Structure 1
Amino acid sequence: MKHEIIHEEKYQQFTAKLEQDEEAELAYAKPEDGVLDLTHTYVPEAYRGTGLAQELINTALAYARQHNLKVIATCPAVKKHIARHPEHQDLLA
């Protein structure tokens, strides 16, 4: 299932708008220039197990790569995802 994910730079998060005004998000911080700290992922219970968290994580990692940013994986879901996908490990700060 593919969702439209938007980068809300003002709120420092990648957001998927869902039904009934629900949202899934991957929040980040910018501890220094050139670094994104992916801090937490939230997916509403009804959407868990659908791959939505992976979509959010892949979108954030693609954004980091496009903008030559390094990533800190504070969020356990992001850390696990990067461990399972070695093609993203070069992004780690």
Structure 2
Amino acid sequence: MEFCKEPGRIFATDETGKLLAEVTFPEQEGIAIINHTFVDGSLRGQGVAGQLLRAVADTLRQDGRKARATCSYAIHWFETHPEDQDLLG
């Protein structure tokens, strides 16, 4: 699956433009707030949410930014990926 990137958002749509997966991380006071993760039911159980969070982590690391996870999935993802916890600020 190929993701599209916008400031504060990484997402995927199908050929009709229907949203299939998304994570949002708007910036507040210099920190990216990971506040929403969505995966369409047709893709659940395929690791798409994890791919989204990996893309966010890679983007933040590349940009030298810190994050705060408020979305329950993002909190869980960081708990299970200790190698990326340095991104949390």
TM-score norm. by structure 1 comes to 0.87
Structure showing the higher helix proportion among its residues: 1
Gaps of 5+ in 2: none
* Alignment partners' CA distance in 2, 1:19 and 1:58: 23
Identity %: 32
Gaps of 5+ in 1: none
Tell me which amino acid in the other structure corresponds to 2:17: D
Q: CA RMSD in A?
A: 1.2
- How many pairs does the alignment contain? 88
Tell me which amino acid in the other structure corresponds to 1:31: Q
* Alignment partners' CA distance in 2, 1:46 and 1:18: 12
Q: Could you list the runs of 4 or more consecutive aligned residues of structure 1 that deviate by over 4 angstroms after TM superposition?
A: none
TM-score norm. by structure 2 comes to 0.91
Instruction: Name the CA shift for 1:19/1:46 in 2 (closer, same or farther; >3 Å).
Output: farther
User: Are residues 1:30 and 2:27 paired?
Assistant: yes
1:1-41 CA-partner distances (Å, limit 9, x unpaired) = xx1111112xx3101123553321001111112x1101010
